[in-house]
Amino acid sequence: MSDQRVVLVTGASTGFGRLTAEALARRGHRVFAGLRDVRGRNQRAAAELAALEGADLRVVEIDVTDQASADRAVTEVIGAAGRLDVVVNNAGGIFVGPVEPFTAEEAQRQFDLNVFGALRVNRAALPHLRRQGAGLLLQIGSLSSRVTVPFSGLYAASKAALASLTEAWHDELAPHGVESVILDAAPYPTNIGANATLPADQERMGAYGEALGGFMAAITSPQQANPGDPAVVAEAVVRLVEAPEGKRPRRTVVAPAAQFEAVEALNRVADSAAVAVTADMGIAAFVSAR
Ligand SMILES: NC(=O)c1ccc[n+]([C@@H]2O[C@H](COP(=O)([O-])OP(=O)(O)OC[C@H]3O[C@@H](n4cnc5c(N)ncnc54)[C@H](OP(=O)(O)O)[C@@H]3O)[C@@H](O)[C@H]2O)c1
């Protein structure tokens, strides 16, 4: 295809990342599917992806918690394709439980994956994107960055941090022709729940047993048990990748209708606040139009 993009997707072994890599490849884009541990835990996923018929898809090894690994992956993409148009920062995971039982070291691991992971990959990619004068950094965020619910506070905080970084990148990189956007997804059935990390301190965890039990019963109740199709996230990523350069929305919400409307309304208010605050601070010229 003439407007083929070269795309690196991190965390492409399962879930949104896998669906996104496959959807982009089926659309004719040149996809580098980023997987960690391709000779171990992800050997099978790597083989399946590499065998995708009629697709220009290549597996690259990347562990986003390791800067050298991120650097190597980006170097491999540039070496093979000569350029890099889009980075989809999808790799992530969730630490589940009340905030108290988690140690600071455990909390750091949540941020290391969900926040510093994207920071490392973008740091590796940005010199190339700035040199090209074009490119897209697309972070996979969560509605929980806007609406924090209990028992996933570390996760929500990490996604809020990722959203803040995305906004800063957006304005800092606009003069370089590089876009930074975030896609905030509602909960969809992937491997994220099965891969969730719990706090090691079970004694403190036990103090929250009753409330946590009630919460879990509420969110898994028959009224709530209508999981959507995670493919809608991959489809939204494809639309953002194929959108005209410079015209992509800073935040995209992918969620069931009621949640979508509510968070879009919140985003509009946040945009108005950004306009008013930056005007009052005398720095409106440094932020992009809302
Ligand atoms: N599903 C939801 O409800 C939901 C909602 C909003 C946002 N999100 C976000 O969507 C993204 C994808 O999650 P998912 O729901 O698709 O879950 P998933 O199926 O568990 O996929 C997570 C992916 O991240 C990879 N990963 C984990 N640690 C990594 C590391 N250190 N380096 C590289 N890759 C790593 C995993 O690889 P391994 O197979 O090797 O573990 C896997 O490919 C995450 O950022 C998540 O926070 C999910």
Atom of ligand 1 nearest to the CA of 69: 32
Same-domain status, 270 and 195: no
Same-domain status, 123 and 238: yes
Same-domain status, 52 and 145: yes
pLDDT tens, position by position, 184-238: 999 999 999 999 999 999 999 999 999 998 988 888 777 776 679 999 999 999 9
Instruction: Return all residues near 165 (Cβ < 8 A) that are at least 6 apart.
Output: 115, 118, 119, 139
Same-domain status, 22 and 108: yes
With tokens 């884009």, the residue in question is: 29
Q: Ligand 1 atom 38: the closest Cα is on which residue?
A: 13
What's the pLDDT score for residue 226? 62
Across residues 258-279, what is the average pLDDT? 96
Domain annotation covers residue 21 = yes
pLDDT tens, position by position, 43-83: 999 999 999 999 999 999 999 999 999 999 999 999 999 99
Give the distance (Å) from ligand 1 centre to CA of residue 90. 6
Cα 124 to its chain centre, rounded Å, is: 16
- The count of domains in the chain is 2
Quick one: what percent of the chain has pLDDT higher than 70? Answer: 98
Regarding the beta carbon of 13 and ligand 1, being less than 6 Å apart is answered yes
With tokens 């990748």, the residue in question is: 241
CA distances from 238 to 2, 118, 177, 243, 275 (A): 16, 19, 20, 8, 29
Across residues 120-129, what is the average pLDDT? 98
Please answer whether residues 171 and 286 qualify as being in contact, where contact means their C-beta atoms are separated by less than 8 angstroms: yes
Q: State the first-to-last Cα distance of the chain, in angstroms, to the nearest integer.
A: 32
Give the distance (Å) from ligand 1 centre to CA of residue 93. 5
Domain annotation covers residue 1 = no
> What phi and psi, each to the nearest 5 degrees, are found at residue 114?
-85, -25
Report H helices in the chain.
15-26, 43-50, 67-81, 104-114, 116-132, 153-173, 202-206, 209-219, 231-242, 257-280
Regarding the beta carbon of 158 and ligand 1, being less than 6 Å apart is answered no
Same-domain status, 81 and 181: yes
Same-domain status, 283 and 143: no
Give the distance (Å) from ligand 1 centre to CA of residue 161. 17
Same-domain status, 197 and 283: no
Q: Ligand 1 atom 17: the closest Cα is on which residue?
A: 192
Same-domain status, 122 and 219: yes
Please answer whether residues 119 and 69 qualify as being in contact, where contact means their C-beta atoms are separated by less than 8 angstroms: no
What's the pLDDT score for residue 288? 84
Question: The domain that contains 143 carries what CATH number?
Answer: 3.40.50.720
Domain annotation covers residue 207 = yes
Same-domain status, 277 and 230: no
Domain annotation covers residue 196 = yes
3-state helix, strand, coil split of the chain in percent (to 5) is 50, 15, 35
3-state secondary structure of 35: strand
Give the domain extent around 107.
6-255
- Return the CA Rg of the chain: 19
Give the distance (Å) from ligand 1 centre to CA of residue 92. 4
Same-domain status, 227 and 270: no
The one catalytic residue in 155, 182, 240, 263 is: 155
Q: CA neighbours within 13 Å on the CB side: how many for 66?
A: 10
What's the pLDDT score for residue 260? 97
Atom of ligand 1 nearest to the CA of 143: 6
Q: Ligand 1 atom 16: the closest Cα is on which residue?
A: 15
Does the annotation mark 188 as catalytic?
no
Domain annotation covers residue 87 = yes
Q: What span, in angstroms and rounded, lies between the C-alpha atoms of 242 and 245?
A: 8
Atom of ligand 1 nearest to the CA of 16: 16
3-state secondary structure of 209: helix
Give the distance (Å) from ligand 1 centre to CA of residue 205. 24
Same-domain status, 267 and 244: no
Regarding the beta carbon of 17 and ligand 1, being less than 6 Å apart is answered yes
